[in-house]
Structure 1
Amino acid sequence: MSFSDALQLLKRKWLLLILVPLVFGISTYFFARHLPKTYSSDTTLYTGIASGYSLTGNAEANFNTTSNAFDNLINLIKARSTGEEVAYRLLADHLWQTSQQPALQAAPEYNSLRENVSEDMRKELLGATPSATLQNVRRYAQANNTNALYWLLNSNDPTYSLKALATLTVSRIGTSDLLRLEYENINPAICRQTLNLVTQVFLQQSRGLREGQTSSVVAYYEAELDSAKNRLTAAERENLAFNQDNNIINYDEQSRNIAIDKDALNATLTTVRQEYEGAQAVLQAINQKLGNKQAALLSSSRVLEQRQKLSKLNAALADQQLFNTQKEANNAKAKELQAEIDKTSQAILSNVNQYNDQANTAEGIPNANLLAEWLQTMILVETNRAKLNVLTQRQNEFEKEYRRMAPLGATLKGIQRKISLAEQNYLAVLASLNASKASQKNTQFAGSLKVIDPPNLPVTPKTNLLVLLLLLSTLGGFVFVVGLVLGLGLMDKSLRNPLIASRRIGLPVAGVMLDTHALATQRFIAYQQRSLDQLVHQILLKANTPPAPVPFVVGVFSVQRQEGKTTLCQALAQRCHEMGVQTLALYPDREDIDETLEAPSLFYPSAMAAVQGWQLDKLIQNAVPKRMTEISQPNVQVVLIEFPALLGDALPVGVLRQLNLIFLTVPATRTWRPTDHQIVERLRSATNAPVEVVLSGVELYQTEESLS
């Protein structure tokens, strides 16, 4: 549906668009004329959420956080628990005030108390103090869901019910830190008192909620901190015990020193081994030069004893020189050992000289020189042998130390990792605890809400609710009618206008016939004449286009009966006759036609024509004239034949092949069904004439576009 179609549809229903809103407005006025006046009071609270000051400085401007905080406050104000507490306090205040000043019971603000709370219940709820009265009211209302106070709280009472408190509205003022609370009631005093109580209850609940949350968090982190501290202490104790058990001062330093000492030991061992092997080779060569006699002499018991002593002294000196870390003691001991070694060497040399009875060796070398060389080499061999033994022993000790230290490192790293994790956990919990305590203090110092504008006592009512209801009801009636009309128009599946008919039927629309039941205004008659002339011009154009047969035969069909084909056929025949075109109209059977028509007309027996398969000549010969002047068939230019309905009636198929044009009349008020499409397709297969649609019963506004 286009916009112009919608406007036309609304234009046709102008009476409904006026009457329905008018009825709605009158009904609203009749039923709402006695509504009580409504008063409104408001208050303003400062929150400090967006730009307030806290322990950490100015509040950070975070849109999501700020919006969430304001949403929490607004929802807390409008929570059921807040409303119930306000109702309890309002009722308790009224009970206490009327008990202290009985004359107040006649005041308008105590109407609900007089009407809904019996005298016996008032005595039962009244306490010795206002606080005791409030406790009695709260306990009585929460005892069960069948007592009178519970029902009063959930009723439609304008003072003490949750429904009355539903008129409370809360909104943020722009992007500021301010909240505006507004409450409406039929009594101005109740309005201000209720808003005061709402503010008190809300501030108390907000403070308790915020501080309660932070207290719970602080308690949780304190417990977690104790647990983390115990785990850290246990890990440190385990580390201390492990180091004490394994004599570890600094594992990394100790392992590095052992590695350095081991490398130095290996290098020294290699050097000493080389010197030892070299000296031993030299000693062996000297022994060969001395011969057997001298060798036996040098192997005597006294010399061997002195050589063993020399070996021990060299071993002790090597141990002092290589591994003793106390420098002063090492120097004194080394000097002492070196003196003993020199003394022993001289003793060996003296013993050897005593047995020196030969001047020369077998090679002619003096024995005195060889013995001196032998003694020096022998001392070098013994010295290197002693060093080699000491270094080998120390190498074995290093290997044992390596095997001992290797697994200790892995265990120690595990203990250190445990300490590190426990320490990190402890520090994280400690940081969270400090942040929670800071947040708790920040909540206490900076999170308190403040009343900027206390609730005022309204003296004039708000805008008259009756006027607003009248406007809303009238507008609602108008919107309802518009929606109903447009909705029905959208759901309308009828053909309505030529454009829709052409799209749904799938055939070209030759023209339209206006609704004959419409008011025959001058505009209607003009459009009807134009639409008829359009159809006649199409017939004449095709009849005069060579090679056009004479006469030009036009068939008028409809799918069902009473779809306007007789009216169309009569109108076309009359218009052609008025234009001077020799026209003959044939109608099935003896249906009534307009007696005022001047166009020649014949009636043929449709059943006989269908059975006999008459062609046009036979059809005319057997037709009965109803209004005929002298007709000469060769002079007839246009023949209009109305056929029976396609659905259910027999057709004179003999004439179908002689048709030159077919007009299919379809009412604009009907829908196009698949069965209609099948019937038309069978008609198109039975004739070669083009089939065009004439939309009948079209409303005037639907034809303006097609005839403009």
Structure 2
Amino acid sequence: MSFSEILRLLGRKWRLLLLVPLALSASTYFFARQLPDSYSSDTTIYTGIASGYSLTGNAASDYNTTNNAFDNLVNLIESRSTKEEVAYRLLADHIWQTSQHPEWLAWPTYEGLQEGLPARLRQQLSGPTREATLEKVRAFAKANNSNAVRRLLNSSNPAYSLSALDYLSASRIGSSDLIRLYYESYNPDIARSTLELVTQVFLDQSRNLREGQTASVIEYYEAELKRAKDRLDKAEAENLAFNRDNNIINFESQSDNIAIQKESLAEQMTLMNQQYAGARAALGAVNQKLGGRQASLLSSRQVLEQTQKLNRLNANLADLQFAGKSDAGTAAKAKQLQAEADRTAQAIQNSVDTYSTQSTSTEGIPNKDLLGEWVQNMVLVESNKAKLAVMNRRRQEFEREYQRMAPLGATLKRIAREIDLAEKAYLTVLASLNASKATQQNTQLTANLKIVDPPNLASKPKSNRLVLMVLLSGLGGLVCVAGTIVGLGLMDKSLKNPVEATRQIGLPVAGLMLDAHAPPTLRLQATQQRSLDQLVRHILLKANTSQMPSPFVVGIFSVQRQEGKTMLCQALSQRCHDMGVQTLALYPDSDGFDPSSDAPSLFYPSEAAAVHGWQLDQLIQHATPKRMTAISSPDVQLVLVEFPALREEALPVGLLRQLHLIFLTVPATRTWRLTDHQTVQELRSATSAPVEVVLSGVAQHHGEEALA
């Protein structure tokens, strides 16, 4: 459907387009003329989201993040929890104020309170302070879902209901950091006080929400930090106890010192073994020279005691020498022991000199000289022997210390690793905790929303919206009616006009007939006459240009009954008769025939004609009544033959071959189906006459457009 067709369609329905909007506007004015006045209040809040300052400098200006933050604030303002809390606070404020000043109940501001809650319940909910009253109201409302306060919240009360708070709106002002809150009410005081409460509740919830996000994180990190500190303390305590139990001051230094002392001891033992072996060899040589007399000498009690004493002194001196101590006390004691050992050795020498009885040895060496050499070698052997004993004991101690220190090193490394891991975990959690606390401080800094413009008290109501509502209702009615008309026009798949009929049927349209049920106006009659004259001229033109013998036979068909073919045949025969054309009309029966017509007409038996295959002459002979008094059969110029419906009765096939032109009447109000197309194709295959469409029942406006 083109735009011009839409305009013509709307133009034909101008009465409907005018009356429906007028009726809606009048109804709106009638029902809305008593609406109360509306007062508005607004406030502006600075958020600092886009360009504010934080601990890290200016706030980030990421577009998506900024829009998300503003959307969160707007949704928080318009959330149900915010509205419920505002309703609780407004109701509690009014209950407390009227309990303090009962005369205020007569004021218009509190008329909704009288209507919403009975006096006994208001007295029950009233507390000594505003806060106590609020707690009572909140607790009473949350006790169950069917109490009076709950019903008030879910009612249509203009002050305390959630539906009243639907007039609350919040929006960002341009691309700034400001949010504008707007509220409308029937009373200016309620509008301002409600908006003040909305601002308070919103600021509290925004602060709690943003700070609560980091509070839980900080609580988690504090718990983790305590566990990490306990783990670190436990590892350090284990390290301390292990070092104390094993006498460890510095394991690395101690182990290195033990290794150095052991190597030094090994070197000294090697040297001492060499000295001991040399002393024993020298002592053996001297014993050989003495020829066994040293045995009697050693068996003397005095020499034996002195020798044992010398061995003890040498052992003690060796202990001091290999103890690893170098302080003054140790040196003095070693010097004292050395002096005592020297005196003991000298005493042995004196005892030997005393018991010496022979002057020479077996080799002729003086006995005194050999005994002196024997004493020196014996003292050296005993001294080295004592030192070797001490060294062996020290070596065994070093071996035991090695066996003790070896597993201690592995354990200390394990404890050190545990301390290192615990310390790293502790420092990591501590860093995260500090970062979270910094974020919390930054959130507290940026979460302090500031009120730029406090809610105002309206001095006069808003402009009357009645005119706007009337205009909108009229415009809405106009749009709805126009949309319905256009929608129905777009969904209309009927043939409607000759252009649409040609497109759907695929056959040329010879003419049309207007709707016979339309009011018989002069304009309609004129249009009908023009369409009929056009059809007659079309038939006469075909008849005059045809090279076929007279008469010119026109067959009038329809797919179904009651599709206007009788009316078409009768109108054409009457018009041709009035024009002086010798015309004969043949009808299959008399149903729908207008008896006032004076054009020559015959009625033939359609079933017999179909069965016997009658041609035109036979059809005329068997037709009744024979009203041929005005004209004779050879003088007939035009024969109009109405055939039975194609889909319902059999056709006189013998007459089909004598047709010169076929008119197919199709109602403009019906849709063209595939079965209709198949039926027409069968007709066209049964005759060689051209088939043209006559559109019947066409609306007057479509007829005028086609004939224009």
The two structures share one fold, judged by TM-score above 0.5: yes
Change (3 A) 1:553 1:235: farther
Distance in 2 separating the partners of 1:164 and 1:40: 13
Kept in 2, the 8 Å contact 1:504–1:672? The answer is yes
Distance in 2 separating the partners of 1:172 and 1:20: 40
Distance in 1 separating the partners of 2:419 and 2:554: 108
CA deviations 1:67-124 (Å, max 9, x no partner) are: 1111111111111111111111112211221122222111111112222222222222
- The answer to whether the aligner puts 1:101 opposite 2:120 as a matched pair is no
Partner of 1:483: 483
Change (3 A) 1:128 1:238: closer
Deviation for aligned residue 1:236: 11
Structure number with greater Rg is 2
SS of 2:26's partner is helix
For this pair of structures, how many residues does the alignment match? 542
Gaps of 5+ in 2: 243-247, 254-408
CA deviations 1:485-542 (Å, max 9, x no partner) are: 2333333332212233233334332221112333455544444344334433443444
Deviation for aligned residue 1:458: 0.9
Partner of 1:17: 17
- The answer to whether the aligner puts 1:52 opposite 2:52 as a matched pair is yes
Distance in 2 separating the partners of 1:232 and 1:468: 76
- The answer to whether the aligner puts 1:685 opposite 2:682 as a matched pair is no
Equivalence map 1:452-471=2 (5 Å): 452-471=452-471
Kept in 1, the 8 Å contact 2:609–2:619? The answer is yes
Change (3 A) 1:58 1:216: same
Partner of 2:503: 503
CA deviations 1:116-161 (Å, max 9, x no partner) are: 2222222221222211111111111111112211111221111111
Equivalence map 1:304-383=2 (5 Å): none
- The answer to whether the aligner puts 1:121 opposite 2:126 as a matched pair is no
Kept in 2, the 8 Å contact 1:495–1:672? The answer is yes
Distance in 1 separating the partners of 2:422 and 2:508: 90
- The answer to whether the aligner puts 1:706 opposite 2:706 as a matched pair is yes
Amino acid at match of 1:135: E
Change (3 A) 1:119 1:544: same
SS of 1:452's partner is strand
Amino acid at match of 2:503: R
Gaps of 5+ in 1: 250-407
How large is the Cα RMSD of the aligned pairs?
Answer: 3.5
Kept in 2, the 8 Å contact 1:45–1:451? The answer is yes
CA deviations 1:601-647 (Å, max 9, x no partner) are: 33323333233321011112233466545535444333211112234
SS of 1:665's partner is strand
Distance in 2 separating the partners of 1:546 and 1:152: 91
Deviation for aligned residue 1:235: 11
Partner of 1:149: 149
SS of 2:163's partner is helix
Report the more deviating stretch, 504-513 or 102-111.
504-513
Kept in 2, the 8 Å contact 1:172–1:179? The answer is yes
Partner of 2:353: none
Report the more deviating stretch, 533-542 or 92-101.
533-542
Change (3 A) 1:145 1:592: closer
Deviation for aligned residue 1:184: 0.9
SS of 2:184's partner is strand
Partner of 1:358: none
TM-score by length of 1: 0.69
Distance in 2 separating the partners of 1:484 and 1:94: 51
CA deviations 1:436-471 (Å, max 9, x no partner) are: 322211121222111111111112111223323322
CA deviations 1:312-346 (Å, max 9, x no partner) are: xxxxxxxxxxxxxxxxxxxxxxxxxxxxxxxxxxx
- The answer to whether the aligner puts 1:92 opposite 2:101 as a matched pair is no
Partner of 2:201: 201
Distance in 2 separating the partners of 1:422 and 1:581: 123
Kept in 1, the 8 Å contact 2:513–2:531? The answer is yes
Over the matched positions of the two proteins, sequence identity in percent amounts to 67
Distance in 2 separating the partners of 1:214 and 1:128: 37
Kept in 2, the 8 Å contact 1:542–1:548? The answer is no
SS of 1:197's partner is helix
Change (3 A) 1:615 1:192: same
Amino acid at match of 2:465: L
Equivalence map 1:578-657=2 (5 Å): 581-591=581-591, 593-594=593-594, 599-624=599-624, 628=628, 630-657=630-657
Distance in 2 separating the partners of 1:422 and 1:508: 99
Change (3 A) 1:645 1:421: farther
Distance in 2 separating the partners of 1:229 and 1:686: 108
Change (3 A) 1:235 1:570: farther
Change (3 A) 1:214 1:58: same
Distance in 2 separating the partners of 1:607 and 1:419: 118
Distance in 1 separating the partners of 2:422 and 2:509: 91
Deviation for aligned residue 1:166: 1.3
Distance in 1 separating the partners of 2:427 and 2:575: 107
Amino acid at match of 2:515: D
Amino acid at match of 1:478: L
Distance in 2 separating the partners of 1:546 and 1:428: 110
Change (3 A) 1:235 1:501: farther
Distance in 2 separating the partners of 1:89 and 1:482: 49
Kept in 1, the 8 Å contact 2:495–2:670? The answer is yes
Report the more deviating stretch, 141-150 or 228-237.
228-237
Partner of 2:672: 672
Change (3 A) 1:627 1:228: farther
Partner of 1:139: 139
CA deviations 1:171-226 (Å, max 9, x no partner) are: 11111111111111111111111111111111111111111111112223344456
TM-score by length of 2: 0.69
Equivalence map 1:197-596=2 (5 Å): 197-224=197-224, 432-521=432-521, 523-545=523-545, 547-577=547-577, 581-591=581-591, 593-594=593-594
SS of 1:692's partner is strand
Distance in 1 separating the partners of 2:534 and 2:30: 56
Change (3 A) 1:420 1:471: farther
Kept in 1, the 8 Å contact 2:155–2:163? The answer is yes
